[in-house]
Chains A and B, each alone.
Chain A
Amino acid sequence: MYIAIVIVALVAVTLILHFASPWWLTPLASNWSAIDTTIEISFWITGFVFVAVNLFLAWTVWRFRHNKNRRSHYEPENKKLEIWLTGLTSVGIIAMLTPGLITWANIVHVPDDALEIEAIGQQWQWTYRFPGEDGVLGAANARFVSNENRFGLDPSDPNSADDILVEHHRLHLPLDQPIKLVLRSNDVLHNFAVPQFRVKMDLVPGTQTYQWFTPTREGTFDVLCEELCGLAHYTMKGQVQVEPEEEFRNWLATYPTFSEVQSDSAVDLAVGETQYQTCAGCHNADGSGNEALNAPNLTRLDSRYMARQMRHYREGIRGTEREDEPGQLMVSIAQSTNVDTEPDLLAYIESLDDVDTAGTLTGDISNGQRLYGACAACHGSAAEGKVLLSAPALAGQSDLYLKRQLEHFSMGWRGKHPQDQFGTQMRLMTRTIHSPERLRDLLAYISTL
């Protein structure tokens, strides 16, 4: 008996949850309102069937519950009823499928005036490419990927030269402009999804895929990778900022073209050396750092990583916490550094001989090795760092500095700013360390590398 009552109650609970639920589709920010409409239609039809079938079920169970004095009705078939039910079901299916297929036809056909932009996924970051003045994206292939050509563009393709490379996880888009987002991956499967835009599509290495949409609402939205792409899949997030055309143009103008990036190699080490004298006070003349002054070892760091950190200090992304004294100091130094000669400075630091700082922490090295498994993917199994993955070297670094930084990540002193993509990832990763003992084990292991 209870089962009949419970089924009625479950139907009621389902309906209440449905209509009172605060968890619902995110507010639409693209032209795909037709998708929402199709969902709405499907809800009314399936909702009706759900309620009708289950209430009928409950009533049947109640009405025909066991009774010693009654016998079941004997009726093997009822053709007429079965044909009616089949017909009505078919009508319901057609009512859902028709708007679905019509909308799909629109999703498949990209409008001619769509602005073509490429989104590139790699474990575990997003970058973007614009076609430049010629309006054509140059050819690309994973074969061309190197530390200098991180997008993997074909240098021999004349269309590549003016392509604008956005090595940042935040993509800006002009409002009300149809966008054809070409999707490319150089490593594994990924998926570009912005919940507010409704559309999503996988990135498939070896081929190009696409999605198109028109952003209709200003704002900043999360980009999520929604195809399992390895252990740090959950940290692979980007952002889309939708803004008026003019602001978008200004933003785009700050990024270099492929040919600019390729020809950017002329640095003057002598200028760099002069500049470095300011740094040598704390980081030592040989760049080995000084733990007494909280200055890390710079000799193993790549210039791309250092440039990003300098920018973060300068732009209020890192070192903002008042109690973070070394960070605050670096903020003022970064602000006074000459931006034009910074590449020379960083190239000079990169040219210094590697010096290893000896480890000071002790811990369970085998446990540390186990914990390091999650770090190795990006930082390398020898902690040598990987420029392509934007992961700095950890080997040879002062373990007290690493400890302080990992603590900053977990406290949110570092990596909390939405512009700090890799810091955000590190914050998520450091949350798996859990305890000071485990942190010491991990650092003790890294010292052995």
Chain B
Amino acid sequence: MTHIAVADQEPELHHPRTFIGKYIWSQDHKVIAIQYGCTAIFVGLIALVLSVVMRLQLGFPDQFDFINPNMYLQFVTMHGMIMVVYMLTALLLGGFGNYLIPLMVGTRDMIFPYLNMLSFWFYFLSVLVLLASFFVPGGPTGAGWTLYPPQSILEGTPGSGLGIVLMLVSLAIFIIAFTMGGLNYVTTILQARTRGMTLMRMPLTIWGIFTATILGLFAFPALLVSAIMMLFDGLLGTSFFMPAIVSLGEATDFEGGSPILFQHLFWFFGHPEVYIVALPAFGMVSDVLSIHARKNIFGYRMMVWAIVIIGGLSFVVWAHHMYVSGMNPYFGFFFATTTLIIAVPTAIKVYNWVLTLWQGNIHLTVPMLFAIGFIFTFTHGGLSGLFLGNVVIDMPLSDTFFVVAHFHMVMGVSPILVLYSAIYHWFPLVTGKQLNTRLGMIHFWGTFLGTYAIFLPMHYIGFLGVPRRYYALGDTSFIPDSAHALNANMTIAVIIVALFQLVFIFNLFWTMKREPKSKINPWGAASLEWHTPEVPPGHGNWGKELPTVHRWAYDYSVPGVVQDYIPQHVPDSDVVYESGFDPSTSKREPT
């Protein structure tokens, strides 16, 4: 039962009165969402530039004298960390989570608006600390985004002094920010849904964000404690992760710690993190597919359960990142099995997306193109995961470019395609304007084809055995010249993809300046967020009275109904049927 009393409160107390109150120290979930979104896109662009520089070195070794081995590793590390944590997690949950949760469940704001504001500013602080590491002596850490000790805090690894300290402090601040935001999302979804919004009527977007947030609340603490322990090892000389070792020829005082302990903690966070990124994307793409195909999502209940099961299983698969880490090899049996089991609910989601399109009426809008592109890339990335999850196949492929190709397909390209889909889809709600379609099309084709041109061949480089995180390959007996040529081609594809992202940035500015106001609810969506009294929604979202929900979010093309969708808040008595149609014969909502 939802607590209407909470949701219905008029949020008098934090009504903004000044410019600063409205746009800087704002407690409005929509403003906070935009703040999160803009910051995340900004750091994402930095990470994009880093990836271009890193690829220049890989594609054209020795051509660029400003890239030395230190910088290469630092760029690899920062690209990965920024993209996974500061861009994807922040944009999906801090950005879209913040914007959509109150609107989609029908409440005026997050339950704890002040905490929500703090969440953003802590996130902002974590970004500042992270970026500061570029300007300290020794530069940012170059230990890889996995930050494995002992090397991450020892001489001989770039940024092993201040760089790693700032990285760990920044992560700790980020986790504080995430916890404040995450508690808010979960509480709001559980406690503040409007009348009639049962859990099984929530749009899949909310299910994805909800489950991902719960994963984050359980997983991030593991990263927090490992960050604190590593800080202690590095600054205070403790030995949580440090056995007795020699460092660059000098004896150290460390004794008795375990580097593998860090890996367990890291991946206990790291694997759920994959789904923290994936589940919101799964949810959002489901909604986009359904709306733009004018068809209900296929197998809604199965989709919800798949999200929940994937979320649960994601906590018992972490050591598949550690098959060759030197942990007890018997773990391989367990983790290979759990990992391949997770493929079943994931496959069901893919089938259901395609079956949602089946017998639909598909509008090939820009959001829909990105969503269809996602089905393709995610299928590809998911299937290559079956190789790496199967412990024996991981042996030859681990630490090669196959791994890089796999995770970029599945948690780089795929969620980013969904993010773009979502931005194009919800932009009219957020700004009242629809992003320019022509530019959107250009952006889509460049991004979709370009990323496949990068990552498809990369799998084969990996099969060959080319190792990742190598500044230069040097002379080897098994890497033919053609592989080097292929590397150069991939780099060119990266540059092209990066340029196409500028089209997107340009489109944002162009649309805000030049495009006319769009129709309200231009895609004809049935979910609540499109049915606010004002568009973009005003402070408090719903005017005088909260909407009441009468059905699920997917009543598209219901037989006998005149309009091709029935909004969630329209009472059954107001639904207009075709003349001569008997509503009692229609089998409508499954829940």
Contact = CB atoms under 8 A, between A and B. Distances in A.
A187 B243 CA distance: 9
Residue of B154, B301, B352, B395 with most partner-chain A CB within 10 A: B395
B590 interface: yes
A35 B396 CA distance: 8
Contacts of B372: 3, 7, 57, 61
Nearest to A224: B467
A220 B296 contact: no
B299 A189 contact: no
B392 A231 contact: no
Interface in A157-203: 183, 185-189, 191, 193, 195-196, 198-203
B296 A76 contact: yes
A230 B326 contact: no
A251 interface: no
Nearest to B476: A222
A56 B387 CA distance: 23
B251 A72 contact: no
Interface stretch (B21-29, B125-133, B455-463): B455-463
A374 B69 contact: yes
Nearest to A197: B396
How many residues of B sit at the interface, in one of the four size bands? 35 or more
A155 to B, nearest CB: 16
Interface stretch (B5-13, B164-172, B357-365, B496-504): B357-365
Interface in B453-490: 456-457, 460-461, 463-465, 467-478, 480, 482-483, 486
Residue of A85, A186, A191, A424 with most partner-chain B CB within 10 A: A85
A390 to B, nearest CB: 10
Residue of A209, A233, A386 with most partner-chain B CB within 10 A: A233
Nearest to B460: A23
For the residues of A in contact with B, the DSSP-based class is mixed
B580 to A, nearest CB: 16
B480 A46 contact: no
Contacts of B486: 23
A235 interface: yes
B358 A24 contact: no
A85 B362 contact: no
Interface stretch (A258-266, A395-403, A427-435): A427-435
Contacts of A86: 344, 348
Given A77-B300, A89-B343, A200 B395 contact: yes
B570 to A, nearest CB: 17
A250 interface: no
B24 to A, nearest CB: 39
B392 A61 contact: no
B589 A220 contact: no
A93 B343 CA distance: 8
Contacts of A3: 364, 369, 372-373
A393 B332 CA distance: 46
Interface string A99-112: 01101110110000
B391 A104 contact: yes
How many residues of A sit at the interface, in one of the four size bands? 35 or more
B340 interface: yes
B246 A388 contact: yes
B343 A204 contact: no
Interface in B533-560: 554, 556-559
Residue of A57, A199, A205, A438 with most partner-chain B CB within 10 A: A205
B208 interface: no
Contacts of A22: 480, 482
A388 B69 contact: no
A6 B393 contact: no
B380 interface: yes
A71 B257 contact: no
Given A10-B376, A97-B340, A108 B326 contact: no
Given A196-B478, A200-B395, A222-B477, A78 B326 contact: no
B386 interface: yes
B478 A85 contact: no
Contact of A231 (B158, B260, B393, B468): B158
B452 interface: yes
Interface in B60-117: 61-62, 65, 68-70, 73
Interface of B: 61-62, 65, 68-70, 73, 142-144, 148, 150-151, 154-158, 243-249, 251, 256-260, 293-296, 298-302, 324-326, 329-330, 332-333, 336-337, 340-341, 343-344, 347-348, 350-352, 354-355, 357-364, 369, 372-373, 375-376, 379-380, 383-384, 386-387, 390-393, 395-396, 398-400, 449, 452, 456-457, 460-461, 463-465, 467-478, 480, 482-483, 486, 554, 556-559, 564, 589-590
20 contacts: A10-B376, A24-B463, A34-B392, A46-B386, A53-B375, A72-B293, A73-B359, A76-B590, A78-B298, A78-B299, A93-B386, A96-B386, A100-B391, A101-B336, A188-B157, A193-B467, A206-B256, A207-B243, A226-B467, A378-B248
Task: Please name the 7 residue pairs, one residue from A and one from B, whose CB atoms are nearest each other, closest first.
Answer: A206-B243, A195-B465, A73-B359, A434-B65, A209-B326, A226-B399, A72-B557
Interface of A: 1, 3, 6-7, 10, 13-14, 17, 21-26, 32, 34-35, 38-39, 42, 45-46, 49-50, 53-54, 56-57, 60-61, 64-67, 70-78, 81-82, 85-86, 89-90, 93, 96-97, 100-101, 103-105, 107-108, 122-123, 141-143, 145, 152, 183, 185-189, 191, 193, 195-196, 198-207, 209, 220-222, 224, 226-235, 237, 371, 373-374, 377-378, 386-389, 418, 424, 427-429, 431-432, 434-435, 438
Given A17-B460, A389-B248, A424-B475, 5 more contacts: A22-B480, A193-B399, A199-B396, A226-B399, A432-B65
